[in-house]
Amino acid sequence: MVTERGRIMLVPIKWLKEYVDFDITAEKLSEAMTLTGSNAEGISELGKDIHNVLVGRILDVAVHPNADKLVVCKVDIGDKILQVVTGAPNVKVGQLVPVAIDGALLPGGTRIKSGKLRGELSQGMLCSFQELRLDEYGEIDNGVDGIYVVDQEYLPGTDIKDALELSDEVIEFEITPNRPDCLSMLGIAREAAVTMGTRYRFPEILVKEISEKAEDVVRVIIEEPEMCFRYCARVVRDVKIEPSPRWMRRRLAAAGVRAINNIVDITNYCMLELGQPMHAFDLDKVADRTIIVRKAQKGETLITLDEQKRILTEDMLVIADPEKAIAMAGVMGGLNTEVTGETRDIILESAMFEGGNVRLTSKALGLRSEASSRFEKGIDIVNVERAIDRAAELIVKLGAGTVLEGKVDVSTLPLENRIIKVEWKRINSLLGLELEPCYISSILESLSFKNEIKGDWLEVIVPSFRLDVEGVVDLAEEVARIYGYDKIPMTLMEGSASKAMRTREQTLTDKAKNVLVAMGLFESITYSFVSPRVYEKIGFDIQDYPKSVIISNPLGEDQSAMRTTMIPSLLEVLSKNRNRSADECKIFEIGNVFTVDPENANGLPLEKLSLGIGKYGNRVDFYKLKGQVEVLLDAFGLLKEAEFIVSAHPSLHPGRTAMVKVEDQKLGIIGEVHPDICRNYGLDSGALIAELDFTLLLDIAKTEKYYTHLPKYPSVARDLAIVADKDILAADIETVIHQVGGSLLNEVKLFDIYEGKQIPQGKRSLAYSLSYLSMDRTLQDKDINPIHNKIIDALQTRFNAQLRK
Amino acid sequence: MGDRLNLIQQEALASIEQAKDSNVLEEIRIKYLGKKGELTQFLRGMGKLPPSERPIMGQLVNKTRRSIESALTRKNEAIERESLIKRLKDETIDVTLPGEKPQLGGLHPLTKVLNKITDIFFGMGFNVAEGPEVELDYYNFEALNIPKNHPARDTQDTFYINENVLLRTHTSPAQIRVMEQQQPPIKIIVPGRVYRSDAVDATHSPIFYQIEGLVIDKNITMGDLKGVLDIFIKRMFGERTRTRFRPHHFPFTEPSAEMDANCTACEGRGCRICSNTGWIEILGAGMVHPKVLEYGNIDPNDYTGFAFGMGLDRITNLVYGIDDIRLLYENDIRFLRQF
Ligand SMILES: [Zn+2]
């Protein structure tokens, strides 16, 4: 299951209380809302890092006797008068200023203590804008060098946090992608109210309009009804661009949005409040005062508000006037119609664009905005109108302009209710509950789903902001989350007796791992992608490269190819451990390797399990590794059939490489790593690896065992030592011994190899112990001698081997 | 004669008593009981006795012989015991010296924890299925109710091979593959390697492991989902562990939930491991979305089901107290030896 990263909605508690009454703590609220589906990630406390900073009135400013640049102030902080030394150039008698008193805490962790400054007592500190970090609260830095001057009248001694309204708590909600409606204060208020079992309210919107009609000023034409479902425009005249009031700046800042100016702030405020993105155009710059919603023309360009020149394609939706594009619909406005200090009149836009197109456009332009991400997820068509009215109301309230009567409202989608009919019993049966239908109904009602019970059926009107609700399962979730997931009783499904068991492959894989672990190997797990250049590093010629599956958008070039062999993974692990000075390292890994499969019509590659063993260290050599592979093959019932054939492999030592074959199928390779490759991996003391096709191994494993009767007669052992040329392979000698030995020869064991004194140069002595056995009688010399002699003769004629006496 | 015999016996017994090793004893045996030994001689001398005394004398000689013989045996045993005691003493070793250990390797911690999880679900009747790591877009997204242009498909998260082929971002595609192959009842878990294009840090890895679970049958409820997962958690982390289900969202389940287990490190009081919440997020789950059932050719009017998915890496880290996911894929032998 993929958890999509949700979007963060910052909810200031003071703002939330405008829509819903509650007196539980922010912590309690966030816990409760988490359990009804609004996941609270944390709470931040605004103003927490300012402590004991009071509003003080400057009563007197005197020259510091010992310092030119300092002054000594008498400051009234209500219950007493403090002497404070400051270097601020702007202090004047009568000012109200923030005074950090003895023991105060400032942002950044600074503590203020009483003390002497150049010989004069200073019982605190007068604070500047920066020292209080007021920008974080959306406060405007007036640019004055020195003390921050409080611009309103407060009683001396008032806590600065109360005076400037700095304290608040902000809950950080992670909103899941199916609930874009909760990316707004209104949506959160709705959820909070249901969670606490109360009601929410939205202030009634009253717009003071002047008699001039908006529809006489501006025209809206939607040319693409599939991409723009509703477009509302209002006209505002005599706009006065100025900072917005403190309460609005505080709320925006607490919600994580930077205050700019009244018009921008109002559109942002409405977006946060209602979830509806809005935009403002400079009316005079819109040709013919006509808004056209159309597709971009091929090669059309637009410089967006971020001053980037955008080259548009025909599938992008733009807002245009008859002459030019003026905005990327739902993404960002154009610089050509930007609202500036000179702007007199504006057109306010509130619209609903199709999410998929907004997403494609913003992706194509590499431009994601707050607006675009909201359109992508879907907005509430009813809010399109409500938001523009709210903005108009605020514009008047803030004195930012005068609003013309009415609005132009074009919709291409019928504004009708979506009704779904469900059997209410199915809600219970899905949840494992037995709720009364009227209870189900009341939960849905509290979530703004108007509904009616008609016998077994429930008819539900889905509110316009709940685009995610389509059927009975969605309603079941609504009921369950408000009823409480906790209250759903835990049950275990009934059903037939368990039929679970490990598959043959699972059993064998476990067995292989356990056998390898028992032999001292540690299991490693490595990434399955490698650098395409790794093949050079392991000695493959270009033409030998297996066809790799290539990731089109890798994290980096060096992680862009799916591995086709386990060898680089093994060597990488050995190399890392060698670098960390581990004196030995013995590992194995069972994992998938991938090769392009031209046979497969659906485009999937061939995925095969590979078993790799890698090791270096003091007590490792080819024969120990081979022995381990043999034990593994034995565990899989394949030792008798397995052959180790002299072979060559680009990563391995040419004289120390064997191919492992079972019944003519190539199972893998085993060998000492080539010194060149060791050097590439910093394995100065050498290394050994084996790689087996584990999918094949699972396939051909012989797991059935049958009992053979224990022999009733003793076996007879005969030793056989021969001297032969060194390059005659032991395997060939053994094959001949077996061939000639026939059915009475039960076992052949090599117990000694010797070169040196008494053995001619270029030859070696091999000593075998041969065991003869018959199941029906005790073997006598007369049975064995002829066979044994025939073996000696055969070795002599085939290999020119001499019996060693 | 009798006196003579008595003397021999006394002499013999005295020298047996003084003997220090088995060689001396053998000499004594020969001296008295051998072919030319004193007692044998004595027996031969009996011929001179009148016939009436012979049987009595014979008895006496035999008695003496037996007494010497048994003294010899006793002494022999005593000497052997003594020499054994001496040998055992000489053979004493320092048992506190280190043992010669055969080298035992070890399974990767991910495998160990996966084995435990698998066993728990086997116990509840779940089979284990598998699916390909390189997967079709159809199975990874489309059939899981994540259509084209869905935000969850952001290329930032998914490694693509081409337009239709990708590295699976979760084990959920196996849901559809199993439904295609098998009619309900279905009860499986699917462990496997998944891929997300996340840059590597202490909590993110572009490759990690998930375990998917899927149950489909008639009358499966959300209560069953809670029951099964609660048992899993108790078996995994101890019978006292409690679970909590929170509403959540996944496109392929509805209703959806996230399950937390109470933090066993702090018993729910809040600590670093649970970021002071007392709860640890363990997995995502939900009732299989009807659209997903339809994609799997199962009629949602007849069947319901639940699915869940958990991160093996996360659970492994919790089990062993590992604080950095990168350690799991670095294969430092010093790390691997710890499990
Ligand atoms: Zn904890």
Pairing of strands A606-616, A585-595: antiparallel
Q: Are the beta carbons of B128 and A502 separated by less than 8 Å?
A: yes
Distance B320 CA to ligand 1 centre (A): 15
- Helix, strand, coil distribution of chain A in percent, nearest 5: 30, 30, 40
pLDDT for the residue A105: 94
pLDDT for the residue B19: 87
Nearest to A525 among B105, B227, B331 (CB): B331
Question: What is the tens place of the pLDDT at every residue in A706-721?
Answer: 998 899 999 999 999 9
Q: Are the beta carbons of B249 and A559 separated by less than 8 Å?
A: no
Dig out the tokens for A393 from the structure: 């109301």
Distance from CA of B83 to the nearest CA of A (A): 39
pLDDT for the residue A541: 84
- Chain B positions touching A587 (Cβ under 8 A) are 331, 333, 336
Judge whether A490 is closer than 8 Å to chain B, CB to CB.
yes
CATH no., domain A51-163: 2.40.50.140
Dig out the tokens for A119 from the structure: 């010989």
Distance from CA of B264 to the nearest CA of A (A): 20
Nearest to B151 among A4, A519, A594 (CB): A4
* ipTM summary value: 0.87
- Pairwise CA distance, residues B183 & A322, whole Å: 60
CATH no., domain A421-463+470-487: 3.30.56.10
pLDDT for the residue B147: 87
Q: Are the beta carbons of A1 and B172 separated by less than 8 Å?
A: yes
Cβ pairs A/B, distance under 8 A: 258
pLDDT for the residue A157: 93
- Pairwise CA distance, residues A427 & A425, whole Å: 5
Q: Are the beta carbons of B151 and A377 separated by less than 8 Å?
A: yes
Average pLDDT over residues A469-475: 95
| Fold for the domain defined by A716-803 | Alpha-Beta Plaits (3.30.70)
A 610-649: CB under 8 A from B: none
Q: Are the beta carbons of B220 and A3 separated by less than 8 Å?
A: no
Q: Are the beta carbons of B104 and A518 separated by less than 8 Å?
A: yes
Distance from CA of A28 to the nearest CA of B (A): 12
Nearest to B160 among A179, A490, A553 (CB): A553
Average pLDDT over residues A216-222: 96
pLDDT for the residue A253: 95
Distance from CA of B219 to the nearest CA of A (A): 7
Judge whether A606 is closer than 8 Å to chain B, CB to CB.
no
Residues in Cβ contact with A354 at an 8 Å cutoff, skipping those fewer than 6 apart: A226, A227, A228, A229, A317, A375
* Number of neighbouring beta carbons within 10 Å of residue A314: 10
- Chain B positions touching A480 (Cβ under 8 A) are 222, 247, 255
Residues in Cβ contact with A546 at an 8 Å cutoff, skipping those fewer than 6 apart: A564, A565, A595
pLDDT for the residue A497: 60
Q: Are the beta carbons of B247 and A37 separated by less than 8 Å?
A: yes
Dig out the tokens for A247 from the structure: 């309460």
Q: Are the beta carbons of A592 and B255 separated by less than 8 Å?
A: no
pLDDT for the residue B51: 82
Chain A interface, best mutation among B150, B177, B212, B221, by max A CB count within 10 A: B221
Distance B231 CA to ligand 1 centre (A): 21
| Fold for the domain defined by A209-411 | Phenylalanyl-tRNA Synthetase; Chain B, domain 3 (3.50.40)
Please give the residue that has the higher pLDDT: either A390 or A377.
Answer: A390
- pLDDT > 80? residue A142: no
Burial zone of A761 (CB within 10 Å; 0-12 exposed, 13-18 middle, 19+ buried): exposed
Judge whether A172 is closer than 8 Å to chain B, CB to CB.
no
Q: Are the beta carbons of B134 and A605 separated by less than 8 Å?
A: yes
Minimum Cα–Cα distance from B285: chain A residue: A1
* Number of neighbouring beta carbons within 10 Å of residue A600: 10
- Pairwise CA distance, residues A728 & A412, whole Å: 89
Three-class secondary structure of residue A282 per DSSP: strand
Q: Are the beta carbons of B284 and A377 separated by less than 8 Å?
A: no
Nearest to B105 among A497, A500, A519 (CB): A519
Average pLDDT over residues A546-571: 93
pLDDT for the residue A134: 92
Distance from CA of A535 to the nearest CA of B (A): 20
Q: Are the beta carbons of A481 and B125 separated by less than 8 Å?
A: no
Judge whether A595 is closer than 8 Å to chain B, CB to CB.
no
In chain A, residues under CATH classification 3.30.930.10 are 504-700
Least confident of A149-153, A630-634, A780-784: A149-153
- Pairwise CA distance, residues A135 & A373, whole Å: 27
Distance A303 CA to ligand 1 centre (A): 52
Nearest to B107 among A513, A577, A603 (CB): A513
CATH number, domain A7-43+173-196, options 3.40.50.2300, 3.20.20.70, 3.40.50.300, 3.30.56.10: 3.30.56.10
Distance B266 CA to ligand 1 centre (A): 4
- Pairwise CA distance, residues A459 & A305, whole Å: 47
Nearest to A526 among B107, B169, B329 (CB): B329
pLDDT for the residue B60: 84
Distance from CA of B181 to the nearest CA of A (A): 16
Q: Are the beta carbons of A552 and B215 separated by less than 8 Å?
A: no
Q: Shortest CA distance to A390 belongs to which of A345, A343, A350, A337? A: A350
Judge whether A500 is closer than 8 Å to chain B, CB to CB.
yes
Partners of A294 in beta bridges: A318
Minimum Cα–Cα distance from A363: chain B residue: B154
- Chain B positions touching A591 (Cβ under 8 A) are 193
pLDDT for the residue A89: 86
- Pairwise CA distance, residues A530 & A552, whole Å: 14
Question: What is the tens place of the pLDDT at every residue in A718-745?
Answer: 999 999 999 999 999 999 999 999 999 9
| Type of residue at A6 | G
pLDDT band at A493 (very low <50, low <70, confident <90, very high): confident
Contacts 24+ apart (CB under 8 A), A21-24: A21/A198, A22/A192, A22/A196, A22/A198, A24/A196
pLDDT for the residue B44: 79
The number of helices, as runs of H, and strands, as runs of E, in chain B is: 12, 9
Nearest to B290 among A473, A495, A498 (CB): A473
Q: What is the CA radius of gyration of chain A?
A: 42
Average pLDDT over residues A381-400: 96
Distance of CA A754 to the CA centre of its chain: 62
Per-block mean pLDDT, blocks of 10 residues, chain B (339 long): 80 88 89 85 79 82 88 91 92 90 94 97 93 96 88 76 94 95 93 92 93 95 96 94 94 95 85 86 96 96 96 94 94 96
- Pairwise CA distance, residues A688 & A586, whole Å: 9
Judge whether A412 is closer than 8 Å to chain B, CB to CB.
no
Q: Is the bond preceding A225 in cis, omega lying within 30 degrees of 0?
A: no
- Helix, strand, coil distribution of chain B in percent, nearest 5: 45, 20, 35
Partners of A7 in beta bridges: A175
Average pLDDT over residues A351-375: 91
pLDDT for the residue A4: 62
Distance B322 CA to ligand 1 centre (A): 15
In chain A, residues under CATH classification 3.30.56.10 are 7-43+173-196, 421-463+470-487
Mean pLDDT of chain A: 93
- pLDDT > 70? residue A775: yes
- Chain A positions touching B226 (Cβ under 8 A) are 485, 488-491
- Chain A positions touching B191 (Cβ under 8 A) are none
Pairing of strands A219-222, A290-295: parallel
CATH top class, domain A504-700: alpha beta
